[in-house]
Structure 1
Amino acid sequence: MANAVLKASRLRLIFDYGFDEDNKPVYKSKTYNNIRQEADADQLYQAAQAIGSLKAEAIWEIERNDTLNIDE
């Protein structure tokens, strides 16, 4: 039977930079590596809000990206 072991976690914040000259939305992201693997969704949300408050642009989306090793 295969096992999945959490190797690393990343927090990705996507910011809304408004619209370009063609009236298409512009988004830019910032990724934070080495996130504490035990952190739950509420803790990550609070951290993202704290980081987002330092920027003029609004947060569009918050993502958690986990890397897992799968083996037998």
Structure 2
Amino acid sequence: MATKVNLGDKVRISFDYGLDGNGKQIVKRKSFSIISGATDDQVYTAANNFASLCEKSLIEIEKIENYELQA
């Protein structure tokens, strides 16, 4: 049976950088490692606080969980 080993989690914050010449939205992202044991609420609050310091509009906050599957 396979088991999963946590490789560390990240939070990815997406920002709106306006439109390109073809009218498509430009999205830029910034990723940060998450301290082990941080709750989803803590991750969201920290990411939202970081985004509030940025000039561009926040689009989305994603939590990325990385695992390795081992036999």
TM-score range, shorter chain: 0.7 to 0.9
Gaps of 5+ in 1: none
* Aligned residue pairs, count: 71
Letter in 1 for 2:60: E
TM-score by length of 1: 0.86
**Where do 1:8-19 residues align within 5 Å?**
8-19=8-19
Aligned-residue identity in percent: 34
Runs of 4+ in 1 over 4 A off after TM superposition: none
Residues in 2 aligned to 1:25 and 1:7: alpha-carbon distance in whole angstroms: 32
Q: 1:14-72: CA deviations, max 9, x gaps?
A: 10111122211110011112x11322221111011110011011111111112112113
Residues in 1 aligned to 2:51 and 2:9: alpha-carbon distance in whole angstroms: 19
Q: Alpha carbon RMSD of aligned pairs, Å?
A: 1.2
**Where do 1:1-72 residues align within 5 Å?**
1-33=1-33, 35-72=34-71
Residue 47 of structure 1 aligns to a residue in which SS?
Answer: helix
